[in-house]
Each structure stands twice: as structure tokens, then as C-alpha cells.
Structure 1
Amino acid sequence: MQDQDLKIQASKKDFLQEIAANNYKLPDGIEPFAFAQALLANLASPDAELRDDLSSIILAGGIINQQKLTQQQLEELLSITLDRDHLFYRIGETGTDSVFMRSFSSLIIASILFNDSPDPHFPPSTIINVKEKLFHYAQEEKDWRGYIEGKGWAHAMAHLADALDECAQHPHMSARDRQEILVQVSELATLGKPLYHEEDIRLAKIAYHIIIGRQVDEDFIDNWIDMCSTSRELDVVSWTRITNAKNVLRSLYFLLHWDNMAPLVTERISSTLYKQDEVYLEKKTAEE
């Protein structure tokens, strides 16, 4: 099938629905890498079914995770998703549909890293570059909307968290790299924009996996918990930051608690949360 024909087919929902119904197996005659590139364009679509339910899942689950691409093709696909037309597409915009391309590029990056981790073929320099690009993206992204009525999930924070999680767990990452990722998580956790579509647990999972894997030392985790606590001021932005941070720490607390892991860390989180909410406890005592 010619590239132009493939692009047309990739944009047709009925064609993609047939692939999904066939357990995401590509039809005969479809070249996986060319089709993967064609599907990337759909990540910018405001059509939730085309973007989320079909294209991203076929690309991640039916092509990348099913090992349909050569190593050279995976490297090229990763490079494409990290470029200014994908992860950094119209970066800085807020309230526009450009967020879909940026956000879902993060999701594909996460899938590529997940696929490589069990038996790494990417060189360490590639994974370090991914880490740095994700950090840069985290600093530049301004549109943190979760669900958009009529258009579905944007969820840039959740998808970024997934990519950072896969990056942190890649074998090429060192303890220092993981410390840097946790610092980035603390900055995202104290964002001044409200996060209320379960972004907290997606961020908490990054720390959870690092902690249970004992991938950084305990002193750093202790300091990192402090990074996730903010001062309680009277302005709305400060209240938003402290609410986001508390939700991330609460999620991390219960992830560790349910697995009966790292009791000293959970105790430290509990103590930090108590201090953050002590103002309410004092008020209650005074009223009594």
C-alpha cells in the first residue's frame, strides 16, 4: 500500500475499528512502521475515539508492544515523538487542541521505553536524552487540563507521569537520574494549577516504584518528601499547590501501606501531612 493511501486509511475510524476488533492485528500488506507514522497524525485529533480509543492503542499495543518494529525503526519513532511537531507541538499554548498531540506523544514515549526496558537495545545516551526532553517539556507545558468536554481526555500530566515512570525504571537510569526525576515529580506535585483527574496517583507511582526498588537512598527520599510540602499562604495558587502536593503524598502513602512496604517512609509522609493540616486540628481543638 502506498504511503498516501496508508495515511488515508489511518484516518478512517471504520478501518481502525476493524483492527481493534481483530485484537489489534494489522491487516496483511500493511507495513508497520509506515502505518505507525501515519497513526501519529491522529494523536492531534479532537476526536476522542480516533485519538485515544483507536490510534494510540493500535500504535502502542498493536505495533510497539507487539514488537512489529525493528530497532532502527523504534529509534526513529522515538526521535519523531520527541520533536517539535509532536511532544513540543505548539508548546506554551493553553486551551487549544494542540495539547492532544503533546500529551499523547508522552504516552507513546512511555510505550517505547516500556518495550525496551526488559532487554535494553537503546544506548544509555538515548534514555538520558529522553529524560532531559521530558524535563524540558514539563517546564514548558502550560495546558494541564484533564478531561475536555466533547473531546475526551487531554491528561497531559498523567501521560507525562507515565513517561517519567517508564524512564525512571529503565535499566540505563542511575540513582542520580532517578533523584533528578523525583525532583521533577516534586515540582509537578506542587503545581499551581488544580489536578483533580487522578494525576496524583500517576505521579505517586513514580516515587512508589523507586522506593520499593530501593533505587535511591533513604536520606534523599526523606528530603524529597520535604520538597513536596509547601507553605500555606492565603492566596488561591498557594492553596492549589498545597492541595496537589498533599494528594500526591496521600496516594504514595496508601500505595506503600497497602503493600506493607517502607514503613519508615509512610511514617515520614504521615508526619508531613499532619504538619500540613495541623492548622485545622488546632482550630477544631480551640472550638471544643
Structure 2
Amino acid sequence: MMKLNRLSIFIVLLVMPLMANAEQCMNHFTMHELEILKEEKFEIDSVKNRNNTALKLFSCLGYPDPKIRDGIVYEAMSYWLRNDLLKPNTIKLMFDSLTKTLSKANQDSNNFTQPFAALVFSEVIRVDRLMPYLSDKERQKAVDVSTEYMRNIQDYRGFDDTFGWRHAVAHTADVFLQLSLNKQISRSQLAQLLSALKTQVSPQNSHFYTYGEPKRLATAFVYIILRAEQTEQGILSFFDYLGNPAPFDNWRSVYQSQKGLAKLHNTRNFVYSVLAITGQSQNPKLKAIQPMLIRIIKQLG
């Protein structure tokens, strides 16, 4: 009986956060309304209703069902933003909400909210790249919030058959990509992005990337170094970091522990991803890094 009670308590503790996240969303929508929104391909004729719906959908960012979180919330936001269907004031409110969400720790114990806030944030930042609406101060805030979030990611869950994607590192790399493409982002801000990005090339907790994170990180990296503002010294420093086996004495010694093998696995995947993206390019900046990539590959063995 005692074991059954403990199991019951465990199940209740597991389910309560899921119910809370779902309830927050259901305070604004019925399931039928969300299904209709999807069926109608997010077409809302009323400009006012469309903008109000966009803001209310933020309550569903942490919804445990990926059909809602990913298939409706993100897809709706992406569709409206990429088709210029939201008012500038609405997009500014979205910016404010997302930076606040990404700045706060422990949004929900199941960690759905922040990774999907990052994914939607990449779309909000993309708008500023194409039609600038942020001030210099707000762009700095975007860089500060996204780099701080990237540095502090410790939940590396990718895909789950029941709960779908979390994918925090990859989603934040998408934010970095959009920021790096924005001509208003300065040299110091690019350096800030690069510094944060390298902290997740190989996580510190012996995690092996298996959900394509190295490619997403590599894509953001490539577009950062394509910017003329990025210094050669900054790029060299980044590659020196990649080639450094620390905290291990050398790359041969990494084979004696899971932590070492994870570092080798993740670093190698990142380097090969950069090589795959840039190998055939005729861009002088990308051609210039090829010898560095080959050198690191030889070091890794």
C-alpha cells in the first residue's frame, strides 16, 4: 500500500505541471477554437482579432501537446510574421513578452516554454532584419537575453514521441542566426554571440548531441564569421578553443571517460558541420577557414 501511495504521489507531481500549462492556455482558448485556427490555416480576416489572437497564443507556449505548442502556436506565429500580417505594435509586445520569458528561470518544470519562446523569438528577430522596428537598445537587449539563455541551457532533451520537441540549443542557435544576418548588429554584439555559441559546442555535462544541434550551431557560426565586422582574431580565438582538448591533457586521453568521449563527439560533429556548409564555397572568408578546420580534424583524430 505504501508503494502504491508513493507511486500515486509521483504521478500526481508529474501530471500537475502539465495540467497547469494546459490550463493556462485553456483560459484563453477552447480546444475547438485552436483546431479551427489550424484547419483554417491561421487565416483571420479581422486585423484586430488576428493581432489579439497572436498575443493570447503566448499563453500556449508551454502546452504539453506538441500539436498545440509546435503545430499551432509556432506555425501561426511564423505564418503571420513572415507574411506581414501583424501590426508593428503587436510585434513589439511579442518582443517584450519573449525577452521576459527567456530571462526568467524555471518557466515550467517540463521545459516546454523557454525553448519554444526561443523558436518564436527567432521569427520576431527576423522581422527586424527585414523591416527594422527595434531600437539599438532593444537589439542589445535581444543579444543579451539570447546569449545569457544560451550559456545557461542545461536541459538537452530533443525529441520525445509523446511530448515532441524541446531542442533549446538548436532553437537559440536560430535566434543567433537571425541576429547575425541583421546589419544593425555591431562587431561587439557579434563577438558576444560567438562567445556564447562556443559554450554549447560541447556541453559540460557529458551530453552527446543526437538531434542535429551541431548543424544549427554551425549555421549560426558561419553567418557570424561572414560578417565583415567580425575580426580575424576573434575567429582564430574561436578555432583555438575548438582545438583545445581541455580539461583533458590531449585528444588521446578523451577516450577514457564519457565526458571525454562526449567532448570529442560534439566537437567533431560541429567541425564537420561547418566543413559541410562551407567546403564548396568560393567566399574568401569561408575559404580562409578551411585550413583551420582541417587542422582541427587532424587534431581530433
- TM-score, structure 1 normalization: 0.84
- Name which of 81, 86, 92 aligns with 2:98: 81
Compared CA separation, residues 11 and 225, structure 1 to 2 (3 A): farther
- Structure 1 contact 10–16 (Cα < 8 Å) conserved: no
Which position in structure 1 is the counterpart of 2:210? Answer: 196
- Name which of 208, 219, 226 aligns with 1:205: 219
Residue 157 of structure 1: CA displacement?
0.9
- Structure 2 contact 103–145 (Cα < 8 Å) conserved: no
1:19 has 2:36 as partner = no
Compared CA separation, residues 15 and 221, structure 1 to 2 (3 A): same
Number of residue pairs matched by the alignment: 265
Which position in structure 1 is the counterpart of 2:230? Answer: 216
Which amino acid counterpart does residue 38 of structure 1 have in structure 2?
K
CA RMSD, aligned part only?
A: 2.3
Deviations 1:182-238 (A, max 9, x none): 111111102132211111110001111123343412232122111223413333123
Compared CA separation, residues 240 and 35, structure 1 to 2 (3 A): same
Which amino acid counterpart does residue 243 of structure 1 have in structure 2?
H
- Structure 1 contact 44–100 (Cα < 8 Å) conserved: yes
Compared CA separation, residues 77 and 29, structure 1 to 2 (3 A): closer
1:276 has 2:294 as partner = no
Residue 242 of structure 1: CA displacement?
2.6
* Cα distance in 1 for residues equivalent to 2:232 and 2:32: 49
* Cα distance in 1 for residues equivalent to 2:97 and 2:32: 19
Which amino acid counterpart does residue 222 of structure 1 have in structure 2?
L
Residue 177 of structure 1: CA displacement?
1.2
Which position in structure 2 is the counterpart of 1:122? Answer: 134
Which amino acid counterpart does residue 35 of structure 2 have in structure 1?
D
1:260 has 2:277 as partner = no
Which position in structure 2 is the counterpart of 1:37? Answer: 55
Which amino acid counterpart does residue 29 of structure 2 have in structure 1?
I
Which amino acid counterpart does residue 165 of structure 1 have in structure 2?
L
Aligned partner of residue 158 in structure 1, secondary structure: helix
- Structure 1 contact 200–244 (Cα < 8 Å) conserved: yes
* Cα distance in 1 for residues equivalent to 2:50 and 2:122: 19
* Cα distance in 1 for residues equivalent to 2:232 and 2:34: 50
Which position in structure 1 is the counterpart of 2:267? Answer: 245
Aligned partner of residue 182 in structure 2, secondary structure: coil
Specify every segment of 5 or more residues in structure 1 that has no aligned partner in the other structure, as ranges: 278-288
- Correspondence list, 1:74-223, <5 A: 74-83=91-100, 86-88=101-103, 90-91=105-106, 96-97=109-110, 99-192=111-204, 193-223=207-237
Residue 11 of structure 1: CA displacement?
7.0
- Structure 1 contact 92–140 (Cα < 8 Å) conserved: no
Which amino acid counterpart does residue 219 of structure 1 have in structure 2?
Q
Residue 258 of structure 1: CA displacement?
2.9
- Structure 1 contact 106–160 (Cα < 8 Å) conserved: yes
Kindly report structure 1 stretches of 4+ aligned residues shifted beyond 4 Å.
none
Which amino acid counterpart does residue 235 of structure 1 have in structure 2?
S
Aligned partner of residue 31 in structure 1, secondary structure: helix
- Structure 1 contact 147–153 (Cα < 8 Å) conserved: yes
Specify every segment of 5 or more residues in structure 2 that has no aligned partner in the other structure, as ranges: 1-24, 246-250
Compared CA separation, residues 5 and 136, structure 1 to 2 (3 A): closer
* Cα distance in 2 for residues equivalent to 1:54 and 1:72: 22
Residue 167 of structure 1: CA displacement?
1.6
- Structure 1 contact 229–246 (Cα < 8 Å) conserved: no
Which amino acid counterpart does residue 83 of structure 2 have in structure 1?
Q
